[in-house]
Amino acid sequence: MADALIRLLRDRRVCVLTGAGISTESGIPDYRGPMAPPRKRPPLQHRDFLTDPSTRARYWARSLLGWPRFRDFAPNAAHDALARWNAVTGVITQNVDRLHHKAGQSNVLELHGALADVTCLTCTAHMHRDELQLLLERNNPHALDWKHTLLADGDAELPDSVVDGFHVPSCLQCGGVLKPDVVFFGDSVPPARLDVAWRHLEEAEALFVIGTSLTVFSGYRFVLRAKERRLPIAVMNVGPTRADADATVKVEAWAAQELPRVVAQLSSGSSSSSRS
């Protein structure tokens, strides 16, 4: 099926949509794939984070432990291959790990934001997550000894009992509530960000979906738009996806293992890089 994928995408400008599965082989657990760890609680809801101080304390306690490891993950062969592929109009990623940037990818749109950025909900001041990490560790030195399991969204699984008494820093500028600059469940992708994603797809002659089941509509909407435009749709994933019925080609494979060969073949003798 990889050969069919190469024939489909050759000499076409391609918009790439990626999900957690492309980062699995970098060591980051995914959400729903065959290697996903079991979840002991439902995903964090946007409304709960805004309205419940205990929810925020639980989130930041888990993030304090998960962030140092999450921050140090490196791109794998799939990220590197995409960064070398000149036919890409843009990469729309549902991931918050910033691995496409680390690989040197241009035209990356982080649909759900990035964990490396933190924003004040009151004054909109920004800080890097590393700066907040220093405050979290200073305020909660006992937390560094907690045992934990890393999760897909950059935090760690912890029992509620150890979160009691956790001190959450406030904005250094105004004392407001700090939030990771990511889209939680129940929130919406900012319109300006979505506009950029649509432009990436409008400039493309095919959509290539990599490493996502597309369970969440924020990613699946691009498949629907590609279908409306009668663009060929290619899928590379381990396990079923919401786009399987609409896919022109589906390749069942881990991206880090198969994508480098596909990109090498597409880049060999392809005229895509010279097209406007």
pTM: 0.90
The yes-or-no verdict on residue 273 having pLDDT over 60 is no
Token pair in block for residue 107: 């035209």
Active site residues: 112
Nearest to 88 by CA among 268, 255, 263, 269: 263
Has 15 been labeled as part of a binding site?
no
Give the pLDDT confidence of 69-128 residue by residue, as tens digits.
999 999 999 999 999 999 999 999 999 999 999 999 999 999 999 999 999 999 999 999
Mean of the per-residue pLDDT values for the chain?
91
Q: What is the pLDDT of residue 274?
A: 35
The yes-or-no verdict on residue 205 having pLDDT over 90 is yes
Least confident of 96-105, 144-153, 159-168: 144-153
Residues 6+ apart with CB under 8 A from 161: none
Rounded mean pLDDT, 33-59: 82
The yes-or-no verdict on residue 40 having pLDDT over 80 is no
The 3 state secondary structure assigned to the chain is CHHHHHHHHCCCCEEEEECHHHCHHHCCCCCCCCCCCCCCCCCCEHHHHHHCHHHHHHHHHHHHHHHHHHHCCCCCHHHHHHHHCCCEEEEEECCCCCHHHHCCCCCEEECCEEEEEEEECCCCCEEEHHHHHHHHHHHCHHHHHCCCEECCCCCEECCHHHHCCCCCCCCCCCCCCEEEEECCECCCCCHHHHHHHHHHHHCCCEEEEECCCCCCHHHHHHHHHHHHCCCCEEEECCCCCCCHHHCCEEECCCHHHHHHHHHHHHHCCCCHHHCC
The yes-or-no verdict on residue 158 having pLDDT over 90 is no
The total number of structural domains that make up the chain: 1
How far out from the chain centre does Cα 272 lie? Answer: 26
- Range of 153's domain? 2-274
**Strands laid side by side in the 88-93 sheet:** 108-110, 88-93, 14-18, 206-210, 233-236, 249-251
Has 120 been labeled as part of a binding site?
yes
Which domain CATH number covers 250? Answer: 3.40.50.1220
Give the pLDDT confidence of 210-239 residue by residue, as tens digits.
999 999 999 999 999 999 999 999 999 999
* Band of pLDDT at residue 30, cut at 50, 70 and 90: confident
Q: What is the pLDDT of residue 163?
A: 79
